[in-house]
Amino acid sequence: MKTILILGGGTAGTMMANKLRKQLPIDDYKIQVIDKDENHYYQPGFLFIPFGIYQPEEVVKKKKDLFSPYIDFILAEVDRIEVESNLVILKNGATLSYDVLIIATGSQVVPEETPQLKGKLWYKDIFDFYTYEGSVKLAEKLANWQGGRLVINLAETIIKCPVAPLEFTFLADAYFTEKGIRDKVSITYVTPLPGAFTKPKATKMLSQLLIEKSIEVIPDFYLQSVDNERKVLISYDEKEVPFDLLVSIPVNKGSDVIERSNIGDEDGLNFVPTDKYTLQAKAKENIFIIGDATNVPASKAGSVAHFEAEVLTENILSYIKGEPFKEKFDGHSNCFIETGYGKAALIDFNYTTEPLPGKFPFAGLGPLALLQESRINHWGKLAFKWVYWNMLLTGKKIPISHQMSMAGKINEEELIKK
Amino acid sequence: MNTLTSAPTLQVNEEGYLKNYQDWNRDWATEIAHQYNISLTPKHWDVLNWLRAKQAEGTALSVRKVGNSGIVDIKEFYALFPGGPLKISSRIAGIPKPASCI
Ligand SMILES: Cc1cc2nc3c(=O)[nH]c(=O)nc-3n(C[C@H](O)[C@H](O)[C@H](O)COP(=O)(O)OP(=O)(O)OC[C@H]3O[C@@H](n4cnc5c(N)ncnc54)[C@H](O)[C@@H]3O)c2cc1C
C-alpha cells in the first residue's frame, strides 16, 4: 500500500484528492488529506459579501463532505515536513509517512507584516475582505457608513486573485451609487504597481472604466506603515494618503508550514520553489506543489489551481509509474472581472500571452467577450460558484482546456505581420 | 530609445524594457541607469544580478522579495533606485516590467 499525502484541503487539495481517487486503485493507494480548518470557504464569494450580494452562509461548506469515498480527511494542523525522511509531523505530535507528497497549503493575508495595519483601527476603520471574518465585518461597516474617503490599498503585488481589489473598487462605486450616497464618497485605488492596469492591451481596453466611475488611482505607492492617529497610509518614500475607511489587501504569504520545514523561497514569503511546467518541487522529486502555495509566475487563482490539477494528476500518475512527465502547465489563467451594475469582463492568458481582446468560445454559454464588459460575463461569474462546488472540487471535467487556446483572440501584432 | 549612444542598441518593447533576456550586457545596463541619473555601484549590481537570477528561475518578483533577499532592505532599495525601485531596476536588469495579470 502506498500513500499519497496532501497538505491542505482547500481548492487545490480537494481537487487533487478527488481526481487522483478516480485514477488510483483503492487497494494499492491510500489518499490522505490534512487541513486545520473544518470549513471550506468559497473565497471568490468574499468579494460579494461586503455588498450584501452574497450572504456569509452561502460560501461555507464542511470540508469532510467534499471528498469522495476512500479519501481520509484528517482535521489537524501540520507542523512541518521532514523532506529527507518523507515524514509529515502534525502539531498534535503525530507523524505521517508518505510516498508522494502534494503541498496545497495556499496563501494567506498577513496584516502583521505592515506596522500598525492591524492596529487600533483594525475592523473599525481598516478592513480586509480576503478572509471570511474580514468580509463579514466589512459588510456590517458598509451597511452603516455615511461616506467619506474610501481607500483601497494593495500592500504587495504578489497577491491571490490579483483582480479582486479592482473588482471590489468597481462594486463599491455601484454600491454607493445605488444607495444614493456616491456624491459623499470618494474612491481612491492605491497600488504599488505602475498603474491599476499594467498590461498594454488591458490598459487600452479597460482604463476608461476608472474614469467613467470617478476612481482616483495612485500608482507606485509601496506601503510602509499606517498611522492610526492621523489615519494616513505612509509609503517607503514618505508619501502619504489619507483615508476615512481603508480596505486593505495585506501582504500575502504562504503557510507557516513552509517556513518551519525550511523549504520556502529564500525571500521569506513562504512560497515553495516549484518547476513552473511540471509542478514538481525543486527540493525533492516525490514532492509536488499546486495552487497558491507555489512560487510559479502564474496568477494565484482558483482557475489556475484547476488547470494545474489536470496537469498534476497526469504527472503524478507518470511519476508513480516511473515514466517521464507527459503534461506541462503553461500558466493558463481565466478570470472574470466584475465591473458593477450586473456586468463583468473576462481575461484569459498564460505565462507568455498577455490578456488579449476578442471572443472566448464557451460551450453552452456562447462566446464570451474578452477584455470587454458584458452581462453574460457577469452571469458566468455568478455561475462559477455552482461550477466550483459541483464540478471543480469534485474533479469533473469542465469544457475548458488546461492549455490556453488562441481561438477567438485578436492579436494585433499577428494581424500586422499578415 | 534615441538616447542610447555609447551602448549597443538592443531590442526593447514600447516601454523600453529589453525584449530578449539574453541580449543584456553591462554597458547597456549602465546606459539605461544613466537615463534615471543612477551611477551603478557594486550594491546596484548585486541587486541587478539577483533580479536576473530570480527571473531565470521563473519566480514572480516583488519589492518585498528584494527586501528579503539579504542584499538590501526595502529602504535601501528605494535609495538605490528612487521613484519606483522595482520598475526601474527591472528595466536596468533587462527583465520584464513588474506587472499584474491585467
Ligand atoms: C477575495 C477573493 C476573491 C477571489 N476570486 C477569485 C475568482 O474570482 N476566481 C478565481 O479563480 N480565484 C479567485 N480567488 C482565488 C482562489 O480562491 C484561490 O486561488 C484558491 O482558493 C487557491 O487554492 P489553494 O488550494 O491553493 O489554497 P486554499 O484554497 O486557500 O487552501 C489552502 C488550505 O491549506 C490549509 N492549511 C494551510 N496551512 C495549514 C497547516 N499548517 N495545517 C493544515 N492545513 C493548513 C488551509 O486551512 C486551507 O484550507 C479569490 C480569492 C479571494 C481571497
Q: What is the pLDDT of residues A319-345, one digit of tens each?
A: 999 999 999 999 999 999 999 999 999
* Same domain, yes or no: A7 and A98: yes
* Same domain, yes or no: A284 and A206: no
* Same domain, yes or no: A229 and A165: yes
B53 C-alpha to ligand 1 centroid (Å):
29
Where residue A86 falls among pLDDT bands split at 50, 70, 90? very high
* Same domain, yes or no: A376 and A268: no
Is the ipTM, as predicted for this complex, more than 0.90? Answer: no
* Same domain, yes or no: A308 and A390: no
List all residues of chain B from 13 to 52 with a beta carbon under 8 Å from chain A.
Answer: 14
CA distance A176 to A366: 32
Is position A265 within any domain?
yes
* Same domain, yes or no: A78 and A152: no
Please report residues of A whose CB lies closer than 8 A to that of B69: 266-267
Decide: helix, strand or coil at residue A234: strand
User: Which atom from ligand 1 is nearest to the alpha carbon of A256?
Assistant: 41
The pTM (predicted TM-score) of the whole model is 0.94
CA distance A338 to A418: 34
B8 pLDDT more than 70: no
* Same domain, yes or no: A179 and A278: no
Is position A328 within any domain?
no
pLDDT at A336: 94
Where residue A418 falls among pLDDT bands split at 50, 70, 90? very low
pLDDT at B59: 79
* Same domain, yes or no: A238 and A265: no
B2 pLDDT more than 50: no
Domain that holds residue A342: 333-417
Catalytic positions of B are 101
Over residues A155-171, mean pLDDT: 95
pLDDT at A416: 55
CATH of the domain at A309: 3.50.50.60
* Same domain, yes or no: A177 and A56: no
pLDDT tens-place string over residues A171-226: 999 999 999 999 999 999 999 998 998 888 888 888 999 999 999 999 999 999 99
A273 and B59 within 8 Å at the Cβ level: the answer is: yes
User: Which atom from ligand 1 is nearest to the alpha carbon of A291?
Assistant: 26
* Same domain, yes or no: A63 and A173: no
pLDDT at A268: 85
CA distance A201 to B6: 33
Domain stop point among A249, A269, A294: A249
* Same domain, yes or no: A117 and A230: yes
A220 and B64 within 8 Å at the Cβ level: the answer is: no
Coarse DSSP helix, strand, coil percentages of chain B, rounded to the nearest 5 percent:
50, 0, 50
pLDDT at A414: 59
Mean pLDDT over the full length of chain A:
95
A198 and B75 within 8 Å at the Cβ level: the answer is: no
A268 and B57 within 8 Å at the Cβ level: the answer is: no
A148 touches chain B (CB under 8 A): no
Over residues A237-262, mean pLDDT: 97
Quote the Cα angle for A101-A258-A283, to 5°.
55
- What percent of chain A is predicted at pLDDT more than 70? 98
Is position A51 within any domain?
yes
B55 touches chain A (CB under 8 A): no
pLDDT at A298: 93
Is position A117 within any domain?
yes
A347 touches chain B (CB under 8 A): yes
Is position A326 within any domain?
no
B60 touches chain A (CB under 8 A): yes
Contacts (Cβ under 8 Å, ≥6 apart) of A217: A188, A189, A190, A191, A195, A196, A210
Q: How many domains does chain A have?
A: 3
CB atoms within 10 A of CB A148: 14
* Same domain, yes or no: A91 and A129: no
